[in-house]
């Protein structure tokens, strides 16, 4: 990760720091990240374990820069990819200035939440408990949710927020800024994420697959961008991508009757990418079979699930 070491012109009162967002799967971590950044830098789905990589989003404000780190949900892994995801989530706690512990206020606090709380009990930086999706909780039940969250550990809060409606986010931002140390910005002005365009394109395609498929298929998918290049003489970005599935039977499901499902994935991805990249897109999608790739060390390395050495 490249950061700026240029402190010229930065007021001594400028604040900057890293904030990790953690919790069990499907608590709304990616939605909160996108809302605070003000731009879509992490894909969102109702399906659990959507986030596979650590995603960094940069929040630039008057006198501060806050780098939010969205992590895969902490869970008990069932395959090598799951082990890597949990390891990345734990590693993201290192060198953080603040940790946001996200709970789903619309669901009972369960074993998964208590498991994460136990993991965070050893963290040496401030941990803020946030009850997300509070807009889904009737007012008469909010005190009960607050009481349940307040006994999870020696944490700050809990704060009741809704990443979807914006409720409580001003209070959250105020608390975060009170905990950030003074320092120069880590990224140039205008930066919203440090991920390359290829990564974002692959994630948008995967998001559309998550929207349109069910059961095991969406979790068995990985997207590899083969090429991205401007078409000569025309304002069109040509993108070629391969979608890999784990079993041969999943290939037919993802393609659909006469290619209908894959065409819809491509249509939805193209429209969003055109808005995101502000250019016309020609998107080619192919589906291939890579048996049990989530358990295959070589495949996981090829698809970028190991940090570069």
**Which tens digit of pLDDT belongs to each residue from 121-141?**
888 899 999 999 999 999 888
pLDDT in the model for residue 11: 52
3-state per-residue secondary structure call for 135-183: HHCCHHHHHHHHHHHHCCCCCEEEEECCCCCCCCHHHHHHHHHHHCCEC
Dihedral over alpha carbons 295, 297, 299, 305 (to 10 degrees): 100
pLDDT in the model for residue 236: 95
Inter-CA distances, 306 with 57, 81, 228, Å: 20, 10, 22
* DSSP letter for each residue of the chain: -------TT--TT-EEEEEEEE-STTSSHHHHHHHHHTS--S---SSTT---S-EEEEEEETTEEEEEEE-PPP---SSHHHHHHHHHHHHTTTT-SEEEEEEETTS---HHHHHHHHHHTT-SS-EEEEEE-GGGS-HHHHHHHHHHHHTSSS-EEEEE--TTT-TTHHHHHHHHHHHPPB---SS-TT--B-S-HHHHHHHHHHHHHHHH--TTTGGG-EEEEEEEEEPTTSSEEEEEEEEEESSHHHHHHHH-GGGHHHHHHHHHHHHHHHHHHTSEEEEEEEEEE-TTGGG-HHHHHHTT-S---
The tokens for 117 are: 């709380």
pLDDT in the model for residue 59: 95
Q: What are phi and psi of 70, to 5 degrees?
A: -85, 130
**Which tens digit of pLDDT belongs to each residue from 240-297?**
999 999 999 999 999 999 999 999 999 999 999 999 889 999 999 999 999 989 888 8
Q: What are phi and psi of 206, to 5 degrees?
A: -65, -35
**Which tens digit of pLDDT belongs to each residue from 6-37?**
433 345 689 999 999 998 888 999 899 999 99
**Which residues are paired to 222 by β-bridges?**
244
pLDDT, mean over the chain: 87
Whether pLDDT at 299 is above 90: no
pLDDT in the model for residue 156: 95
């Amino acid at each position: 990760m490249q950061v700026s070491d240029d402190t010229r012109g930065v007021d001594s009162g400028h604040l900057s720091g890293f904030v990790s967002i953690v919790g069990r799967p499907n608590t709304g971590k990616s939605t909160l990240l996108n809302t605070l950044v003000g731009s879509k830098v992490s894909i969102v789905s109702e399906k659990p374990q959507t986030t596979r990589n650590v995603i960094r989003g940069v929040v630039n404000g008057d006198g501060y820069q806050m780098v939010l780190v969205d992590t895969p949900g902490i869970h008990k892994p069932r395959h090598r990819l799951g082990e890597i995801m949990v390891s990345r989530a734990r590693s993201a706690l290192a060198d953080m200035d603040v940790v946001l512990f996200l709970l789903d206020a619309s669901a009972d606090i369960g074993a998964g939440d208590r498991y994460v709380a136990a993991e965070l009990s050893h963290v040496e930086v401030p941990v803020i408990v946030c009850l997300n999706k509070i807009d889904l909780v009737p007012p008469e039940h909010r005190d009960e949710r607050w009481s349940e969250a307040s006994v999870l550990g020696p944490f700050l809060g809990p704060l009741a927020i809704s990443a979807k409606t914006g409720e409580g986010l001003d209070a959250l931002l105020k608390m975060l800024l009170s905990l950030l140390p003074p320092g120069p910005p880590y990224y140039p002005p205008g930066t919203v994420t440090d991920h390359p365009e290829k990564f974002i394109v692959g994630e948008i395609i995967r998001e559309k697959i998550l929207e349109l498929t069910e059961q095991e298929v969406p979790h068995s998918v990985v997207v590899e961008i083969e090429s991205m290049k401007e078409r000569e003489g025309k304002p069109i970005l040509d993108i070629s991508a391969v979608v890999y599935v784990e079993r041969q039977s999943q290939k037919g499901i993802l393609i659909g009757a006469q290619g209908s499902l894959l065409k819809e994935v491509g249509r939805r991805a193209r429209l969003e990418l055109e808005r995101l990249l502000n250019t016309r897109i020609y998107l080619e999608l192919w589906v291939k079979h890579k048996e049990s790739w989530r358990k295959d060390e070589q495949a996981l390395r090829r698809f970028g699930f190991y940090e570069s050495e």
